[in-house]
Every structure is written in C-alpha cells, then in structure tokens.
C-alpha cells in the first residue's frame, strides 16, 4: 500500500481524509486506485494532476515506479509561463 497526501480541498472529496492508502506500484495504478476508491476525486483527476514522488514531480508517466515507503503527494496540475 502507498500512502498519498491530498491537498486540503481534495480531502473534502475523499471523505475528509488528508492521507489515504492505495494499492499501487506505479503512477497509473495510483491514479486509477484513487479514482476507484474515492469517486469524489474523479473530477479533479480528470482535470489533471501532478504527483510528487519523494520530492520529484511527475505529470504523465504512467509507469513511474512508486515504492511502498515513498512519500507521495497529489498536487494541482503544475502550469508554467
């Protein structure tokens, strides 16, 4: 299981939990697992998110490995100029 930290307003869509656990070994499994476990998160996931894994940010790399002890933080989709 991977522990995922959700940002505050996203926690409202995950039954109020700031930290949730998902069975996932890759980024894709993580995002799929979050959507299945917490349907309220799906609109935000569909709008696009970034994910910090051990302090490094990933956007779309489905098969990025995630270790069980990794620090995983869901972030708003990063934009730049």
Partner 1 sequence: MALDDTKKTREFKVVGTRPDRPDGIDKVTGRARFGADMVAPGMLTGRILRSPHAHARIVRIDTSKAEALSGVKAVVTRADFGEVPEDVADVLDNCMAGDKALYDGHAVAAVAASSPAVARKALKLIEVEYEVLPHVTDVDAAIKPDAPVLHEGRQQETVPEGLSQNVIARSEFGHGDIEAGLKQADRVVGRTYRTAATHQGYIEPHACLATMGSDGRADLWVCTQGHYMVRNTCAAILGMEQGQLRVTASEIGGGFGGKTVVFLEPVALMLAKKAGRPVKMVMSRSEVLRATGPTSSTSIDVKIGMTKDGRITAGFAELRYQGGAYPGSPVDMGAMSGFAPYDLENVKTVGWDVVANRPKAAAYRAPGAPMAAFAIESAIDEAAKGFGLDPLEVRLMNGADEGTKASYGPTYPAIGLKATLEAAKSHPHWSAPLGENQGRGVACGFWFNFGGDTCVSLNITPDGTVTVSEGNPDIGGSRASMTMMAAEELGIPYDQVRTIIADTGSLGQNEVTDGSRVTFAVGLATIKAAEAAKTEMCRRAAMVWGIDEEAVEWEDGAARPAGPNAGKFPPMTLKEIAAIASNTGGPIAGHHEVNAEGAGVSFATHMVDVELDRDTGSTKILRYTVFQDAGKAVHPSYVEGQFQGGAVQGIGWALNEEYIYGDDGILQNAGFLDYRIPVASDLPMIDTVILEIPNPGHPYGVRGVGETSIVPPLAAIANAVSEAAGVRMTQLPMSPPRVLAGLQGKASA
Among 30, 34, 55, 67, binds partner 1 (CB under 8 A): 55
Residue 17 or 75: the one with the smaller Cβ distance to partner 1 is 75
- Show Cβ contacts of residue 80 under 8 Å, excluding neighbours closer than 6 positions: none
Please state the φ and ψ torsions of residue 18, each to the nearest 5 degrees.
-80, -25
Rounded Cα gap, residues 80 and 71, in angstroms = 24
Please report whether residue 15 would count as binding partner 1 according to CB under 8 A.
Answer: no
How many of the other CB atoms lie within 10 Å of CB of 76?
13
Among 17, 58, 66, 68, binds partner 1 (CB under 8 A): 58
Please report whether residue 56 would count as binding partner 1 according to CB under 8 A.
Answer: yes
Contact residues toward partner 1 (CB under 8 A) are 5, 7-9, 12-13, 40, 43-44, 50, 52, 54-61, 64, 71, 73-76, 78-81
């Amino acid at each position: 299981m991977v522990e995922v930290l959700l940002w505050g307003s996203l926690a409202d869509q995950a039954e109020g939990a700031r930290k949730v656990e998902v069975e996932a070994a890759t980024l894709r499994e993580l995002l799929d697992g979050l959507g299945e476990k917490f349907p309220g998160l799906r609109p935000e996931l569909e709008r696009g998110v970034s994910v910090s894994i051990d302090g490094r940010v990933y956007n779309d790399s489905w098969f990025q490995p995630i270790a069980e002890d990794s620090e995983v933080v869901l972030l708003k989709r990063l934009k730049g100029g």
